[in-house]
Amino acid sequence: MLARILALAVKEFLVLFKDKRSRLVVVVPPLIQLLVFGYAASFDLNDIAYALYDRDGGYAARDLAARFEGSPSFRSVGRITRQGQIAEWIDARKVLLVIQIGPRFTADLLAGTPAPVQILIDGRNSNSAQIVQNDVSRIIADFNRDWTAARGLQGMPVNLITRAWYNPNLESRWFFVSGLVGLLTLVVTMMVTALSVAREREQGTFDQLLVTPLRPLEILIGKATPGLVIGVLEASLVVTIAVFWFGVPLVGGLGVLYTGILLFVLAAVGVGLMISSLAATLQQALLGAFLFLVPAVILSGFATPIANMPEAVQILTLGDPLRYYLVILRSVFLEGAGFELLIDQMWPLAVIAVLTLAAAGWLFRHRMT
């Protein structure tokens, strides 16, 4: 019996590695995902873009500012000179943090009274905001310790005031649930479209389609329509649950939201049809969808900031439709952003949708001939 089992196992290994596609599936996807996870999946923040609004200018304020400039985790983007710039820079995602030093900072410290320092954090990514808050608190604590030790004082001379914009309580649920709208929409749309053509081939009904009066473009549109409809309905369902069950605020307009949803679903349908056109079996279609989905989620900024990824990996994220969709979702949900602020995220989605659908159409016609 053992010999028969061994012979069957050897036969299965030979069949597996005889096929070139099977060899690639066994070796290439794990290596790609290992590289993606290793470089992109990091919860550390080592590039915190910040701006300083120093309304004091005294030597104590300069000392505190120098501590942030000397920290390897912080990167100074510039100095703010007026109050209105704070909202402009945070809204445009130019900075993650604004440090505001009061006009009597040095005078209050010399007088022995607590001197307030306010930090304004972009709270759209609650995880990053909490990490930033901890890093700032550490620098302020070091400043307090050095100031009191040098003057033989007690207490906390610098009083840190923290304010998180767009997510005042840094609710992680707001960040993750709004992101799940994009993730679940992508998974459902990809599964519906990636299996469509491959299922026809495996069941033997694909040839029957070829003898119908339908042209290749009409067949492609027919295959894309269910994925498009189901993707939009899935996104609508998840948005409804996020708002009414989980209490995530939907500050923006539905017109902006559904424009982003439609562009994203079109891009996802295009990718799914590309995979389905290349796959000969359902198994290959599932593996192709999995190979795309996992890196797409990691590179999208769903859980880890894109700014922390190496530059080469950040370039890869430019081709990930989920990256732009998550920015649109979280901006509409938490910030109430309109078309004028999100056009930079929508036109790349439109380009990806056009390119993937065109490529899927070419592959579809090519595989039919």
What pTM was estimated for this model as a whole?
A: 0.72
pLDDT of residue 347: 93
**Residue whose token pair is 């796959």:** 279
187: its two tokens: 């998974």
pLDDT of residue 153: 64
DSSP per residue over 277-328, as a string? Answer: HH-SSHHHHHHHHHHHHHHHHHHTTSSS-GGGS-HHHHHHHTT-HHHHHHHH
**Residue whose token pair is 């990809």:** 190
Distance CA 101, CA 54 (A): 5
Provide the residue-wise pLDDT of the chain in tens; the chain has 369 residues: 666 556 655 655 565 566 666 566 555 655 565 555 555 555 556 778 888 888 888 888 888 888 888 888 888 888 888 888 888 888 777 888 888 888 888 888 887 788 888 888 887 776 777 778 888 888 888 888 888 887 666 666 777 777 777 776 666 777 777 788 888 888 888 887 877 777 767 666 665 666 667 676 776 777 778 888 888 888 888 888 888 888 888 888 899 999 999 999 999 988 988 888 787 777 777 788 888 888 888 888 777 777 777 778 888 888 899 999 988 988 888 877 888 888 999 999 999 999 988 888 787 766 655
Distance CA 274, CA 13 (A): 29
Distance CA 224, CA 272 (A): 9
pLDDT of residue 9: 58
Distance CA 235, CA 233 (A): 5
pLDDT of residue 1: 63
The residues of the chain that CATH labels 3.40.1710.10 are 48-165
Q: What are phi and psi of 42, to 5 degrees?
A: -140, 130
Q: Could you tell me if 213 and 296 are in contact, meaning their C-beta atoms sit under 8 angstroms apart?
A: no
pLDDT of residue 237: 86
| CATH class (in words) of the domain with range 48-165 | alpha beta
Distance CA 250, CA 332 (A): 7
Phi-psi region of 80 (alpha: psi -120 to 50; beta: other; left: phi over 0): beta
